[in-house]
C-alpha cells in the first residue's frame, strides 16, 4: 500500500475535529453498507424460556439456585460472566464514543445504531443466564453493581484516531471471545446465541476496520502511531471488573482468549487486511511507529509460543495424573 505524496496535511495540522470532518463521507458510506447487510434479530428467540422458573423472593414457589442446575461448563460460566459484564458497561461506551464522534450527521447515526445493536447482546445474555440458571443470579447482580458503580474510562479517550484504531481490534476480540465461549459452553443453545452476537461484532469490526483504512489514506503517520500505541497497550474493555485477572487467566487456559488467540485471530488479521506493515511513503515518526509495531508483534508471537508450550506441558501433566 502506497500513500500518495504529499500527505494531506502534516501531523501537526490534523485535529480531531478536522479528522471527523474528513472521514464523514467514509462513515456515511460504511453506515449505508452496514445497514444493507445487517439483519435485525429478536433476543427473546434465543432464550430457553421453558427452562425458567421462579427464584426465591416475591414468589412462594421460588426455587433457590444450585450449581447442579446449570448445563454450562465451568469455563463457559466464567467466560459468560466476563462477556456479560463487559456488555453491561454499554452506557459508558456510548458516552465515550458519542463525546468523541458526536451525535450529528453520519457519525451520530452510527453511534446510536451501534449502541442499539450492542444493547441486544446484554439483553439476550442475561435472559439466557437467568432462564437456564447457568450462574448464581445474586452474585451476577452484585458483580454488575460493583462493576458499573466503578465506572469505565477508555485508555484511548484522548484521541479520535486512537479510539478508531482500538475498536477495530476490540470488536474482533469480542467476536472471538463470544464464539469461543459458545464452543466451550457445552450447551448448543448458548452456542447459537453467542454465534448470533458474534455476527454483529464482526460487522462492527468491519465498519471500524474500513474506517481505519481510510484514516491511513488521509493521515498515515498519525494513524500508524495510533495503531502502534493501541496494539502495544491493548486491554479488553472489561479489565476493570472485579476479579478480572483471575478470570482472564482461566479463560486463557480454557482456550477462550489467550496470547495465541490475541496474536493470530485478532491483531494479525486486521494488520494483514490493511497491509499496515507494507505501507510506505511515511514520515520519520510514521516509519518509527511501523517498525516498533513490527517488533512488538514479533515479541508477542514469541510470548504466545511460550504460553503454548506451558499449556501443552500442563495438559500432559493432567493426562499423566489421570493415567
Known binding residues: 87, 118, 121, 171, 201, 204
- Please give the biggest Cα pair distance in the chain: 74
Q: Give CA–CA dist 225/106, Å, rounded.
A: 26
Can you read off the three cell numbers belonging to residue 19? Answer: 479528522
Q: Give CA–CA dist 50/107, Å, rounded.
A: 41
Q: Give CA–CA dist 218/222, Å, rounded.
A: 9
First to last CA, the chain: 54
Q: Which helix (H) or strand (E) holds 50?
A: none
Residue 273: partners with Cβ closer than 8 Å, 6 or more residues away? 209
Give the residue numbers of the binding site for Fe cation: 87, 118, 121, 171, 201, 204
Q: Are 255 and 184 in contact (CB under 8 A)?
A: yes
Q: Are 307 and 258 in contact (CB under 8 A)?
A: yes
Give the phi and the psi of residue 140 in degrees, each rounded to 5: -60, -45
115: left (phi over 0), alpha (psi -120 to 50) or beta: alpha
Nearest-5° Cα angle at 298, 284 to 311 = 155
Q: Give CA–CA dist 62/67, Å, rounded.
A: 16
Amino acid at each position: 500500500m502506497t500513500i500518495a505524496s504529499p500527505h494531506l496535511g502534516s501531523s501537526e495540522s490534523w485535529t480531531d475535529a478536522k479528522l471527523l470532518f474528513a472521514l464523514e463521507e467514509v462513515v456515511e458510506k460504511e453506515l449505508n453498507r452496514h445497514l444493507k447487510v445487517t439483519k435485525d434479530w429478536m433476543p427473546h428467540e434465543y432464550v430457553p424460556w421453558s427452562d425458567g422458573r421462579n427464584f426465591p423472593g416475591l414468589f412462594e414457589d421460588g426455587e433457590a439456585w444450585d450449581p447442579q442446575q446449570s448445563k454450562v461448563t465451568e469455563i463457559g460460566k466464567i467466560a459468560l460472566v466476563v462477556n456479560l459484564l463487559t456488555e453491561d458497561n454499554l452506557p459508558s461506551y456510548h458516552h465515550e464514543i458519542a463525546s468523541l464522534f458526536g451525535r450529528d450527521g453520519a457519525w451520530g447515526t452510527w453511534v446510536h445504531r451501534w449502541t442499539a445493536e450492542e444493547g441486544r447482546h446484554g439483553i439476550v445474555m442475561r435472559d439466557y443466564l437467568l432462564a437456564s440458571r447457568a450462574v448464581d443470579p445474586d452474585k451476577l447482580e452484585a458483580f454488575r453493581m460493583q462493576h458499573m458503580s466503578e465506572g469505565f474510562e477508555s485508555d484511548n479517550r484522548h484521541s479520535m484516531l486512537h479510539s478508531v484504531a482500538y475498536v477495530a481490534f476490540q470488536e474482533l476480540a469480542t467476536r472471538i471471545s463470544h464464539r469461543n465461549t459458545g464452543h466451550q459452553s457445552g450447551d448448543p443453545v448458548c452456542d447459537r446465541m453467542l454465534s448470533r452476537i458474534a455476527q454483529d461484532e464482526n460487522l462492527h469490526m468491519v465498519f471500524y476496520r474500513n474506517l481505519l483504512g481510510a484514516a491511513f489514506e488521509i493521515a498515515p503517520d498519525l494513524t500508524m502511531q495510533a495503531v502502534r500505541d493501541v496494539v502495544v497497550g491493548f486491554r479488553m474493555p472489561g479489565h476493570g471488573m472485579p476479579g478480572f485477572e483471575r478470570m482472564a487467566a482461566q479463560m486463557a487456559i480454557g482456550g477462550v482468549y489467550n496470547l495465541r488467540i490475541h496474536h493470530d485471530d485478532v491483531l494479525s488479521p486486521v494488520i494483514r487486511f490493511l497491509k499496515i506493515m507494507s505501507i510506505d511513503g511515511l514520515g520519520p515518526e510514521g516509519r518509527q511507529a511501523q517498525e516498533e509495531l513490527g517488533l512488538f508483534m514479533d515479541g508477542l508471537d514469541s510470548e504466545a509460543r511460550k504460553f503454548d508450550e506451558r499449556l501443552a506441558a500442563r495438559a500432559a501433566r493432567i493426562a499423566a495424573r489421570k493415567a
